[in-house]
A and B are shown apart, each in its own frame.
Chain A
Amino acid sequence: MLEVFKAGKDKKLMGATILLMAVGLLMVYTSSAGLGASRFEGDVGHYFKHQALRALFAFVAMTVMMNLDYHRLQRKAPWVLIVALIALVALVVPGVGREVRGATRQIPGLPVQPSEFARFAVVLYLSSFLAKRGEAASFKQCIMPCFAVTLGAAGLVLLQPSLGSAVVLVLVSAVVLYVGGARLKHLAVVLGTGLAVAVACILSNPYQLERIRGFLGLGHQYQEDQSLLALGTGGVIGKGIGRSMQKYLFLPDPHTDFVFAIYGEETGFLGCVLLVSLFTFLLLRGLKVAASAPDRFGFLLATGLTASIGLFFAFNVGVVTGIIPTTGLPLPFISYGGSALLMNAVAVGVLLNISGHRVREGVSSGRSPWKRNVIRITEIR
């Protein structure tokens, strides 16, 4: 095995991630073939080729993060947060962001969407902040700054507008605060404020309201119904990979937000249970990495990153299976799109690095295996 992969101690976690990315590539290929063929002059592989490149890039990013001592991230946390906030603010400035279907979520030229990066940055910052403060959770000194950072970033995400991402951001922060020892009373304030803003946002936006009304059975919800139809059509064993009918005609966004529905149609109940199990396994491994992290920072960071992947998974599959209203969030590692894939791969990379620090006698915290490797090469020369 290559030296660089030794840093990730948790081989099972790494394996699950790579497996998910592979399934993702396969699904992007089958779910988008029809779309690619019609939109890009018969190029059935159009979306696949893009996604394959992004997967490669994400894998490299994961490997790099895996070999980068996560303690170095702790010192850089405020800077990472500042960069993320600047990117979010820049999106709001007219003319900087690129508008797609009425929302501005990208800055041309940047590899990740600012909101994806911001989630990582906020988790990182909260973890390093709470790690420093210890458990003395006084409201003013500890919760207020976290509160401000979380809601500030979430507010900026909301301006894009991307309600789903903002909600996940607040929830992930709440998880970090919770395991960081915040009092439940204080947490309730954070979540309550977030909830109030979200409700106000839904009520003021007819587009969001329509989705909620549809979910409650008061309006229509075409995507959800079609997605359930796709799932249902799959039956126990599915129609076979590449045989989905829904993706051709009926289901909008078959390769992004509703990729799981196409997966369900093609692989059936068995395939779905397998994939859900894989995700659950990944989450449990992530939590295990957190539990055996050598210090408080590692513990908080690992929990937050795992929660971030878990929440995306829950929200996406929840929508597809009709548990919650449409949020427009992608399925981690599976959905078409580079931003989420890259940031999730980075998150797993950090988790893997933390897992490598599990045994204290192992790698000294100041020097990463990556560095040792480099040194060894120079010595040989």
Chain B
Amino acid sequence: MSQSHYLASSKQSRARVFRYVAVALFAVIVGRLFLFQVWHGRAYSEQARHNRVRLEILPRIRGEILDRHGRVLAENVLSYCLLFDPFEKEFVSGAADVDEVLTSTAALGGGERLEEWRALIEKGRELPFRPVQLACNLDITQISLIEEHKSRLPGMRIEARPRRSYPHGELACHLLGYVSEARQEEIERSAEGVYQPGDMVGRSGVEESREVALRGRNGKEYVEVDARGRRVEPTPDRPPLPARERPWAGSDVVLTVDLDLQRAAEAALGEERSGAVVVLDPRDGAVLAMASRPGFDPNVFALGLSPGRWRKLNSSPLHPLMNRATQALYPPGSTLKLLTAAAAMEEGVANPATTLEPCTGVYRFGTRGFRCWREEGHGILTLLEAVEASCDVYFYQLGIRLGVDRMAEYARRFGLRSRTGVELQGEKSGFYPTTQWYDKTYGHGRWGKGVRLNLAIGQGEILVTPLGLAVFAASIANGGTLYRPYVVASQVERWDRSRSARRPGRVTPRASPGVSSVTLKALRQAMEAAVSGPLATGRMASVPGIRVAGKTGTAQNPHGQDHALFVGFAPVEAPEVAFAVVVENAGHGGSVAAPVAAAVLRSYFHIQPDTVAVAQPGDTLDTAD
């Protein structure tokens, strides 16, 4: 055997150390094994035979959602739930059969849910130790029946668990969102201990956007129980069970919304109609009310929604789950004449006193006649009067002078071609076409020059969300700042509610439209005239004692009756609220949307409805636009 040269080297002797290391490792491990398996072995097996460990989840409490004055919008109530542990000793040892117990429980009540329970338990088996929640909101009869038969129902127990509750039902449902049970893949994907079966997860609105703050953390406790499931003292001489982990309540979330104003906005929209109302504070972008109709009762999700009901809710043609304030796109109609006017003044195409060709009720462009909404025409108008009277013919002429792209540029500056950036999921972006878009869609030169006339009065392909319109109105009101609208004023730790809510840095100017203050002032003047001037189209938005500014809009809807819109702000001298109202398929902005705005403003300024001047019958003509 030839010894290799390197073995002679003294350094190689180092390798020999590892042989001793390996032998020492062997000795240590065998020693430990002897200690546990032979020396303490009996104690362990005694303990394992008689007792077992059960994991009790100590449920967390989800944070509450409050309005800006601390009134509760979403809370938790106790509900009695039926829990079932398919790993109960009797089942493991084969002394009882899971299905038998389920069947006899179903016989006591809830028989129709047997199949559903089987599926739940199949799912629940993946996470041993964790009892499966079979039913919640048990009434006293159900509770006593189960308690009575408990001895024949191993694995079944009743536990009080917190359930999400929305005391005002449908109120602000889209803004609040709803919760439903964590899905299997969420439980698996989340980091350790974030979700357990039966935990609720926020699914939309603030419940979703503030999920991390609201949810808190579950506690857990391993308890030793005997064969009958009773808690026993820990067996001595065996490793102790892990310590109890206490649950952490989620933070409360304080919204910027005012409960009264929200209620007024929803009442003003009415039960039957579809639409949305957004009220903002133009000074910082805080959302004071965000209503969307039709709505849904978020409580039904917390109670557990059957697949059938879910399908019904989700596929309803009225889309009750959609938050129309942020997710619905509407043609803005004449409300966007404000944009055209701003563009015209900024680009030097017109000033507030400019007069153009008189309105005769129709405007000839090429071979086509473009009609004004007022058949008999408006005659000669200045720009301010044209906004006030919402004269189409005047704006056709501005559209021709401005062209598509210059108008689109101002739409971009006012944020109407992007999302507002509110934290709610699924917000849609506004849309304003450009020549490039027309070229791409219809082919170069294959679209008529007439589109700019339609765009100038807010018709055509333009689409906006009610929230986008409200931000637009707010930027006119506040002298040219586009705020990112926000809905959460603060997050408050549970034990900390008394402390003054710190206001997080939510107030973020998104951008400035870069429009001169002279132009904005003229717009404000025109908007006030549009509510209270002699030619006013938005007269029904007026509120006694308050200087209201606004602009009506009636959006042609190819699928049915016109959508009614109204945007504005008040009071004119120092705006505190800016708003946008959209009522679907309801008719004219002036007669349908403006009164909704008036009702919201009356609520905000605490003005009793009985002092409202009743609209004169003769006004109806002018309320059209």
Q: A residues touching B (Cβ–Cβ < 8 Å)?
A: 38-39, 41, 99, 101-102, 135, 175, 178-179, 181, 207, 214, 219-222, 224-226, 228-229, 231-236, 245-246, 248-250, 264, 268-269, 272-273, 276-277, 280, 283-284, 287, 290-296, 299, 303, 306-307, 310, 313-314, 317-318, 321-323, 360
> Quick one: which of A179, A246, A310 contacts B14, CB cutoff 8 A?
A179
Which residues on the B side are within 8 Å of A179 (C-beta)?
Answer: 11-12, 14-15, 18
Cβ contacts under 8 Å, B349 to chain A: none
Q: A313: which B residues are within 8 A, CB to CB?
A: 25
26 contacts between A and B (CB under 8 A): A38-B125, A39-B126, A101-B191, A101-B192, A175-B18, A179-B12, A181-B14, A222-B241, A231-B33, A232-B36, A232-B44, A233-B41, A235-B41, A235-B45, A248-B128, A273-B30, A273-B33, A276-B29, A283-B22, A287-B19, A287-B22, A310-B18, A310-B25, A317-B29, A321-B32, A323-B28
Enumerate chain B residues within 8 angstroms of A314, measured Cβ to Cβ.
Answer: 25
- What is the CA–CA distance of A231 and B23 in the complex, to the nearest angstrom? 22
What are the residues of chain B within 8 A of A291 when measuring CB–CB? 7, 15-16
What secondary structure prevails in chain A residues at the interface with B? helix
Q: Is the CB of A219 within 8 A of B243?
A: yes
Are the CB atoms of B128 and A296 closer together than 8 Å? Answer: no
Please state if B128 and A249 are interface contacts (CB–CB under 8 Å).
yes
A299 touching B15 by the CB < 8 A rule? yes
Q: Is B40 an interface residue (CB 8 A)?
A: yes
Give every chain B residue within 8 A of A249 (Cβ-Cβ). Answer: 52-53, 87, 92, 128-129
Among residues of B, the one whose C-beta sits closest to the C-beta of A294 is B4
Find B6's partner among A232, A235, A299 (CB 8 Å cutoff): A299
Contacts of B53 in A (CB 8 A): 226, 249-250
Shortest A187–chain B CB gap in Å is 11
Kindly state the separation between the CA atoms of A276 and B189 in the bound complex, as whole angstroms: 36
Determine how close the nearest CB of chain A comes to the CB of B554; give it in whole angstroms: 47
Known: A272-B37, A293-B4. A248 touches B92 (CB 8 A): yes
Q: Which chain A positions have C-beta within 8 A of B52?
A: 249-250
* Binary per-residue interface labels of chain B (225-254) against chain A in the complex, 1 for a CB within 8 Å, 0 otherwise: 000000000000011111100000000000
Contact status A220-B243, CB under 8 Å: yes
- Is B9 in contact with chain A by the CB < 8 A criterion? yes
Interface: B535 (CB within 8 A): no
> What are the residues of chain A within 8 A of B29 when measuring CB–CB?
276, 317-318, 321, 323
| Alpha-carbon gap, A140 to B7, bound state (A) | 26
Decide if A229 touches B48 in the complex (CB within 8 Å). yes
What secondary structure prevails in chain B residues at the interface with A? Answer: helix
Contact surface of B with A, Cβ cutoff 8 Å: 2, 4, 6-7, 9, 11-12, 14-16, 18-19, 22-23, 25-26, 28-30, 32-34, 36-38, 40-45, 47-48, 52-53, 87, 92, 122, 125-126, 128-129, 189, 191-192, 222, 238-243
A236 B4 Cβ-Cβ under 8 A:
no
In the complex, the answer to whether B242 meets A221 with C-beta atoms within 8 Å is yes
Interface centre among B22, B32, B128 (most CB of A within 10 A): B22
**Interface-centre pick from B14, B25, B36, B128 (highest chain A CB count, 10 A):** B36
Q: Is the CB of B33 within 8 A of A264?
A: yes
Cβ A229 vs Cβ B37 within 8 A: no
Please determine whether A292 and B4 come into contact, CB atoms closer than 8 angstroms.
Answer: yes
Enumerate chain B residues within 8 angstroms of A235, measured Cβ to Cβ.
37-38, 41-42, 44-45
Least CB distance from A48 to B in Å reads 18
Tell whether, in the assembled complex, residue B25 and residue A280 are in contact, meaning their CB atoms are under 8 Å apart. yes
Which residues of the partner chain A approach B4 to less than 8 Å between Cβ atoms?
292-295
Contact (Cβ within 8 A) A229 B47: yes
Q: Are B33 and A303 in contact (CB under 8 A)?
A: no
Give the docked Cα–Cα distance between A249 and B52 (Å): 9
Q: Please report the C-alpha to C-alpha distance between residue A306 and residue B192 in the assembled complex, in whole angstroms.
A: 34
Q: Which residue of A lies closest to B44 (CB)?
A: A232
CA distance A290 to B44 in the complex (A): 42
* Complex-state Cα separation, A61 to B615, whole angstroms: 89
Distance in Å: Cβ of A256 to nearest Cβ of chain B: 15
B242–A225 touching, CB < 8 Å:
yes
Cβ contact within 8 Å between B128 and A225: no
- In the complex, what residue of chain B is closest to A99 when comparing beta carbons? B189
Q: Which single residue of chain B is at the shortest CB-CB distance from A288?
A: B19
Note all chain B residues with C-beta closer than 8 A to A268: 37
Extra A-B contacts (12), CB below 8 Å, given A229-B44, A249-B92, A314-B25:
A232-B238, A234-B37, A249-B53, A249-B128, A250-B128, A280-B23, A280-B25, A283-B22, A291-B16, A295-B4, A299-B6, A322-B32
Across-interface contacts of B18 in A (CB, < 8 A) = 175, 179, 287, 303, 306-307, 310
Contacts of B222 in A (CB 8 A): 222
Candidates B2, B32, B34, B125; contact of A360 at CB < 8 Å: B2
Q: How far is the CB of B120 from chain A (nearest CB, A)?
A: 13
A297 to B365, CA, bound (A): 90
Query: B residues within 8 A CB of A250?
Result: 52-53, 128-129
9 smallest A-B Cβ distances: which pairs?
A232-B44, A220-B242, A38-B125, A225-B239, A321-B32, A269-B37, A235-B41, A181-B11, A102-B191
Contact A272 B48 (CB under 8 A): no
Question: Which B residues are CB-close (under 8 A) to A248?
Answer: 87, 92, 128
Complex: chain B residue closest to A39, CB-CB: B126
B108 to chain A, nearest CB (A): 27
CB pair A222 B26 closer than 8 Å: no
Most chain A CB neighbours (cut-off 10 Å) among B126, B239, B243:
B239
Chain B residues near A310 (CB, 8 Å)? 18, 22, 25
Q: Which residue of A lies closest to B45 (CB)?
A: A233
B19 lies within 8 A of A38 (CB): no
Please, which residues of chain B bring their CB within 8 A of the CB of A224? Answer: 239
A249 to B129, CA, bound (A): 7
Identity of the chain A residue whose Cβ is nearest the Cβ of B40 in the assembled complex: A232
List, in ascending order, chain A residues with CB within 8 A of B126's CB: 38-39
The interface residues of chain B lying within 8 Å CB-to-CB of A38 are 125-126, 128
Q: Which residues of the partner chain A approach B26 to less than 8 Å between Cβ atoms?
A: 276-277, 280
Chain B: minimal CB distance from A50 (Å): 17
Chain B residues with Cβ below 8 Å from A41 are 122
CB distance from B183 to the nearest CB of A (A): 16
Contact indicator A269/B87 (Cβ below 8 Å): no
Q: Which residues of A contact B44 (CB under 8 A)?
A: 228-229, 231-233, 235
How far is B38's CA from A360's CA once the two chains are assembled, in angstroms?
49
Say how far B132's CB is from chain A's closest CB, in angstroms: 12
Partner of A232, one of B14, B37, B191: B37
A residues in contact with B12, CB < 8 Å: 179, 299
Instruction: Kindly list chain B residues whose C-beta atoms are within 8 Å of the C-beta of A280.
Output: 22-23, 25-26
| Contact of B37 (CB < 8 Å), options: A226, A231, A299, A317 | A231
Residues of B within 8 A of A296 (CB): 6
Bound-state CA distance A228–B45 (Å) is: 11
Select one of A220, A294, A303 contacting B15, CB under 8 A: A303
In the complex, which of the residues B14, B189, B239 contacts A229, with contact meaning CB atoms closer than 8 Å?
A: B239
- In angstroms, Cα B122 to Cα A66, docked, is 46
Q: Which B residues touch A322, using CB under 8 A? A: 32, 36
A41 to B15, CA, bound (A): 51
Residues of B within 8 A of A219 (CB): 243
- Asked if B239 contacts A236 (CB within 8 A), the reply is no
Q: Whose C-beta in chain B lies nearest to the C-beta of A239?
A: B45
CB distance from B137 to the nearest CB of A (A): 28
Q: Which residues of B contact A214 (CB under 8 A)?
A: 242
CA–CA, A268 and B34, complex, Å: 10
Is A269 touching B34 in the complex (CB atoms < 8 A)?
Answer: yes
Determine the residue in chain A with the shortest Cβ distance to B3. Answer: A292
- The docked-state distance in angstroms from the alpha carbon of A228 to that of B41 is 10
Interface centre among B38, B48, B192 (most CB of A within 10 A): B48
Flag if B239 contacts A233 (CB, 8 Å).
Answer: no
The docked-state distance in angstroms from the alpha carbon of A273 to that of B240 is 26
Most chain A CB within 10 A, of B15, B34, B129, is at: B15
Q: Which residues of A contact B42 (CB under 8 A)?
A: 235
**What is the bound-complex CA distance between A346 and B455, given in angstroms?**
71
**C-alpha gap A310/B24 in the complex (Å):** 12
Q: Nearest-CB distance from B6 to chain A (Å)?
A: 5
Output the least CB separation between A272 and chain B (Å).
Answer: 5
Residue from A39, A224, A249, A273 with most neighbouring chain B CB atoms (10 Å): A249
